[in-house]
A and B are shown apart, each in its own frame.
Chain A
Amino acid sequence: MKYILETRNLSVRYGEIAALNELTMYVEQGEAVALVGANGAGKTTLIKSIIGLLALSQGELLFDGADVRAVTAHLRARLGIGYSPEGRRVFPGLSVRENLEVASFSNAAETRRLIDQMYTIFPALKEKERSLGWTLSGGQQQMLAVCRALMSKPRLLLLDEPSLGLSPKLTDEVLWRIPEIAKAGTAVVLAEQNLTKALEVTDRAYVLRVGTLVLQGASSELRSNPSVRKTFLGGL
């Protein structure tokens, strides 16, 4: 079985601080995988190192079986990694449609088709088509960020904290698209603090704690595993 994403003993350091410690994980084609853990566990660091915004200090990173450590971020994106960052980071001065257009590397007709497809996933975006990014609400921005990441027709989608700052209702609206996306053939890595929801929408999960992988398994099992909650929430 060839994994769409595989890391072997991946470590990332900020200066002398180890942010990720010898992390080994994999993602299969078409599955949704959750990365869960409290603040500072290293979820964002892992996501950023996969897309190429952070350099590995050691270990291997394979995308679709090929070593991509030497590939720069913008080329990794073109290889088929979609990225929706923490804090959404939609382009504030671009309209919704423009935000989508700039992320597509297909021809104009295909881009139009993709955009329409996005609008069917999140109809709210169609209504705001001409609005500038910064005028959207947090939830709309999050939808836009997810769609934008899908515009390059990625085979792997990285979602970093899509629920951050969203109301529970909006969180549901965004997160419940994940199984759909995965089913359509795009593997998803979801970094989430919201443990329950993350486990609800994914197939498997990795639990991180201060840069180290502490638990992994099928999401359904982890949901009922009491040690997950303990690791995650401490004493609650």
Chain B
Amino acid sequence: MSRSAHVRPLLGAVGLCLLASWPLIMSSPYDLRLFTLAGVFAILAIGYQFIFGNVGELSLSQGAFFGLSAYVSGILAVKAGADFPQSFAASIIVCVLLAVLVSIPVLRLSTHYFALATLGVGQVLLLVAIEWQSLTGGAIGLSGVPLPKLFGVQVARGWPLLLFVWCFVALAAMVAFQVKRGLYGLACHVVRQNAVAARSLAIDPDSIRFAMFLLSAAMAGVAGALHAHTIRIVSPEGLDFKVMIACLTMAVIGGRTHIWGAIAGALLVVHLPEWLRGFQQSYLIITSSVLIAILIVAPEGLAGLVDRLLPPQRSKSPDSDGLSPIQDRTSDGVLMPSETPILAVRELTKTFGGVHALNNVSFSLMRGSIAAVIGPNGSGKTTLVNCITGNYRADSGAILLGGGEIGALGSDEIAARGVGRTFQNLRLVDDMTVLDNVAVARFRAEAATLGKSFLIGRRDEKLSRARSHALRVLRRVGLEHAADVNCASLAHGTKRLVEIARAICLDPAVLLLDEPAAGLNETEQAELARLLEALAARGLTLLIIEHNMEFLKNLATHMVCLDYGELIASGRPSAIYQDERVIEAYVGRRQAAEATA
């Protein structure tokens, strides 16, 4: 840690110096040209990281946007005599418009269907470019695209063009940096790693994916326009699948989430074949072998390799002192247990392939109460939680939150209305700190948007507020000391607490906990019970799924028992513990028979 703390900044400085001195040392026009082209592709790859890296979608249309933008720029410049700012702007706009159009049918598809559908976009554009000869010049393309001209100043080839392009690289890197570092970037990270968890935190993965797709397209637009004005010809080769492959290779080889990884990937993928040109045809074999070797040695790309050798230093958590206090729904302390049900489930039924996972289940929760759902494995407890939180859609029945029907809402919307949850199999983001895992729950409350994240100043105020809020929640659950630790390195019990803290940070009215005590030792269980009681005392309503009766014994104020999807008992714990059907469901019929005999 301390070694890498010193080495990383040094490495960064050396890398930057190397990057800056590269064209100074290798200063032949040829080297400058390659460096310029690498810059163009770096922009393309940085843009691709938004969709492929930030939200982890394998899009194969980045090349199509790149080629399209080149065509728009080229056609406007050659046929309409547009100047650079015009053709540049138009290219980006056209790309974004196409992205909007494409995203309607395509964004809802999953993985490979998405990949192929986006690939299809490129193929169609390629064919159109070849066929529409009057506009595009057909297969041979359109030549005579001028060098960029800005405010009447011609950007000459060589150094000026190189600097011009790399200014855009810097700009793209800054945009990417802005998007990644704020609360919005955190939300993207959660969407990529765990879309279900994101929804439970009132983050809509779809709208984030949509925004990232458009941003990727816009960046491809920038790169495509610069490409047209750099190589000064537009042709169908720009739309070829090979461009997409090159872009994907840059992102994977460099590292899909690090900005500098995209730049390194672009430099490498552009230069590698050039360095090996001397081998005539065989250079392709060598280049490909090198790529496979890099994949094997550095599975997370060059950036990932550096991270593995020199783990990044964690930024210190913010000092919550000195920040203005935040409104906290649960901390008002005015909401006393009342007799109005905050959450009511009416005749809920859910079947999976003919098997009733839930059959006509009804119950309701009073504000500030702690209810427990018990039942043997496979009795439908988790299904019940998933129905309430909108992860499953019930076949029939109603779910009312504060009197309003929520059964038809998406899970992010339900979370936004005040239903927080934890998961039986923990759904934390392992490569994020505890603090950030919790802070991301403030996404909705802070109204973080992509647009606002562009304008982040020295630091993201929203993120700072979210973090200090999160820190306060962590303090409440006794995890303040672990705030800067990566979740991956936490013990199981601590992870459970982090998930609870994250759900509390959402500031919910109802909190659903799926087996919160599983894997906790007795001391931890006792602490958890105290915490949950304290939360309930502040007006939070709790619904706990649990096997551990010991844990529930003194905690729950109300209990329901499920067996084979049916609610077989409901009432005070003391009554439930005596219920014959419950004992039978749990311990097995024979024993129950013996007990009564």
Q: Do A and B come from one complex?
A: yes
B-contacting residues of A (Cβ < 8 Å)? 14-17, 38-40, 161, 164-165, 167-168, 193-197, 200, 210, 229, 233-236
Question: For residue B517, which residue of chain A has the nearest CB?
Answer: A40
The contact of B377 among A14, A193, A229, A234, by CB within 8 Å, is A193
Contact B491 A17, beta carbon cutoff 8 Å? yes
CA distance A135 to B489 in the complex (A): 41
Q: Which 5 pairs show the lowest CB-CB distances between chains A and B?
A: A234-B550, A234-B549, A196-B591, A235-B553, A165-B378
Can you name 5 extra interface pairs (CB under 8 A) apart from A17-B492, A167-B564, A196-B588? Answer: A16-B490, A39-B547, A195-B587, A234-B549, A235-B577
CA distance A183 to B519 in the complex (A): 36
Contact A39 B588, beta carbon cutoff 8 Å? no
CA distance A147 to B520 in the complex (A): 36
Number of chain B residues whose Cβ lies closer than 8 Å to a Cβ of chain A: 29
CA distance A234 to B551 in the complex (A): 8
Contact B491 A234, beta carbon cutoff 8 Å? no
Residues of A near B492 (CB, < 8 A) are 14, 17
Contact B378 A164, beta carbon cutoff 8 Å? yes
Please, could you name 7 A-B residue pairs with CB atoms under 8 Å apart, sorted by A? A38-B547, A167-B564, A193-B376, A234-B548, A234-B549, A234-B550, A236-B549
Contact B515 A195, beta carbon cutoff 8 Å? no
Q: Closest CB of chain A to B106's CB: distance in Å?
A: 30
Contact A200 B378, beta carbon cutoff 8 Å? no
CA distance A14 to B550 in the complex (A): 26
CA distance A165 to B382 in the complex (A): 14
CA distance A183 to B589 in the complex (A): 26
Q: Mark B549-568, 1 if CB is under 8 A from A, else 0.
A: 11111000000000010000
CA distance A38 to B520 in the complex (A): 12
Contact B549 A235, beta carbon cutoff 8 Å? yes
Q: B574-597: which have CB < 8 Å to A? A: 577, 583, 586-591
CA distance A194 to B590 in the complex (A): 11
Does B518 make an interface contact (CB < 8 A)? yes
Q: Closest CB of chain A to B374's CB: distance in Å?
A: 9
CA distance A196 to B515 in the complex (A): 23
If the complex has contacts A38-B547, A193-B377, are A233 and B489 also in contact, measured as CB distance less than 8 A?
no
Residues of B near A236 (CB, < 8 A) are 549, 577, 583, 586-587
CA distance A32 to B178 in the complex (A): 62
Q: Closest CB of chain B to A201's CB: distance in Å?
A: 11
Does B327 make an interface contact (CB < 8 A)? no
If the complex has contacts A196-B591, A197-B590, A233-B587, are A16 and B491 also in contact, measured as CB distance less than 8 A?
yes
Does B521 make an interface contact (CB < 8 A)? yes
CA distance A210 to B589 in the complex (A): 26
Contact B588 A195, beta carbon cutoff 8 Å? yes
Contact A168 B587, beta carbon cutoff 8 Å? no
Contact A16 B549, beta carbon cutoff 8 Å? no
Question: For residue A210, which residue of chain B has the nearest CB?
Answer: B521
Contact A39 B550, beta carbon cutoff 8 Å? no
Contact A38 B587, beta carbon cutoff 8 Å? no
Q: Closest CB of chain A to B556's CB: distance in Å?
A: 11
Q: Closest CB of chain A to B359's CB: distance in Å?
A: 15
Q: Closest CB of chain A to B276's CB: distance in Å?
A: 39
Contact A38 B488, beta carbon cutoff 8 Å? no
CA distance A235 to B582 in the complex (A): 13
Contact B553 A234, beta carbon cutoff 8 Å? yes
A-contacting residues of B (Cβ < 8 Å)? 376-378, 488-492, 515, 518-521, 547-553, 564, 577, 583, 586-591
CA distance A106 to B378 in the complex (A): 36
Q: Closest CB of chain A to B346's CB: distance in Å?
A: 26
Q: Closest CB of chain B to A35's CB: distance in Å?
A: 15
CA distance A165 to B565 in the complex (A): 11
Residues of A near B489 (CB, < 8 A) are 15-16
CA distance A16 to B485 in the complex (A): 13
Instruction: Name the residue among A193, A195, A235 with the largest chain B CB count within 10 angstroms.
Output: A235
Residues of A near B552 (CB, < 8 A) are 234-235
Residues of B near A195 (CB, < 8 A) are 587-588, 591
Question: For residue A134, which residue of chain B has the nearest CB?
Answer: B353
Instruction: Name the residue among A14, A17, A236 with the largest chain B CB count within 10 angstroms.
Output: A236
Contact B583 A38, beta carbon cutoff 8 Å? no
Residues of A near B583 (CB, < 8 A) are 236
Residues of A near B490 (CB, < 8 A) are 16
Q: Closest CB of chain A to B450's CB: distance in Å?
A: 34
Contact B515 A39, beta carbon cutoff 8 Å? yes
Q: Closest CB of chain B to A214's CB: distance in Å?
A: 12
Residues of A near B564 (CB, < 8 A) are 167
Residues of A near B491 (CB, < 8 A) are 16-17
Question: For residue A211, which residue of chain B has the nearest CB?
Answer: B519
Q: Closest CB of chain A to B427's CB: distance in Å?
A: 15
Residues of B near A234 (CB, < 8 A) are 548-553
Q: Closest CB of chain B to A91's CB: distance in Å?
A: 18
Question: For residue A233, which residue of chain B has the nearest CB?
Answer: B549
The contact of A164 among B377, B521, B549, by CB within 8 Å, is B377
The contact of A40 among B376, B488, B519, B577, by CB within 8 Å, is B519
Residues of A near B591 (CB, < 8 A) are 195-196
Question: For residue B353, which residue of chain A has the nearest CB?
Answer: A134
The contact of B588 among A17, A40, A164, A168, by CB within 8 Å, is A168
Contact A196 B377, beta carbon cutoff 8 Å? no
Question: For residue B520, which residue of chain A has the nearest CB?
Answer: A210
Question: For residue B587, which residue of chain A has the nearest CB?
Answer: A196
Question: For residue B594, which residue of chain A has the nearest CB?
Answer: A196
Question: For residue A38, which residue of chain B has the nearest CB?
Answer: B547
CA distance A149 to B108 in the complex (A): 41
Q: Closest CB of chain A to B325's CB: distance in Å?
A: 35
Q: Closest CB of chain A to B594's CB: distance in Å?
A: 8
Contact A196 B550, beta carbon cutoff 8 Å? no
Contact B550 A235, beta carbon cutoff 8 Å? yes
Residues of A near B518 (CB, < 8 A) are 39-40
Residues of A near B587 (CB, < 8 A) are 195-196, 229, 233, 236
CA distance A196 to B552 in the complex (A): 22
Residues of B near A14 (CB, < 8 A) are 492
Residues of B near A235 (CB, < 8 A) are 549-550, 552-553, 577
CA distance A16 to B488 in the complex (A): 8
CA distance A196 to B589 in the complex (A): 9
CA distance A40 to B519 in the complex (A): 6
Q: Closest CB of chain A to B484's CB: distance in Å?
A: 16
Instruction: Name the residue among A161, A197, A229 with the largest chain B CB count within 10 angstroms.
Output: A197
CA distance A194 to B592 in the complex (A): 12
Residues of B near A210 (CB, < 8 A) are 519-521
Q: Closest CB of chain B to A186's CB: distance in Å?
A: 25
Residues of B near A17 (CB, < 8 A) are 491-492, 519
Contact A39 B377, beta carbon cutoff 8 Å? yes
Residues of A near B549 (CB, < 8 A) are 233-236
If the complex has contacts A15-B488, A39-B377, A165-B378, are A194 and B547 also in contact, measured as CB distance less than 8 A?
no
CA distance A40 to B591 in the complex (A): 23
Q: Closest CB of chain B to A132's CB: distance in Å?
A: 14
Q: Closest CB of chain B to A20's CB: distance in Å?
A: 12
Question: For residue B584, which residue of chain A has the nearest CB?
Answer: A168
Q: Closest CB of chain A to B497's CB: distance in Å?
A: 13
Residues of A near B547 (CB, < 8 A) are 38-39
Q: Closest CB of chain B to A126's CB: distance in Å?
A: 24
CA distance A86 to B246 in the complex (A): 44
Residues of A near B551 (CB, < 8 A) are 234
Q: Closest CB of chain B to A83's CB: distance in Å?
A: 20
Residues of A near B377 (CB, < 8 A) are 39, 161, 164-165, 193
Residues of B near A168 (CB, < 8 A) are 588-589
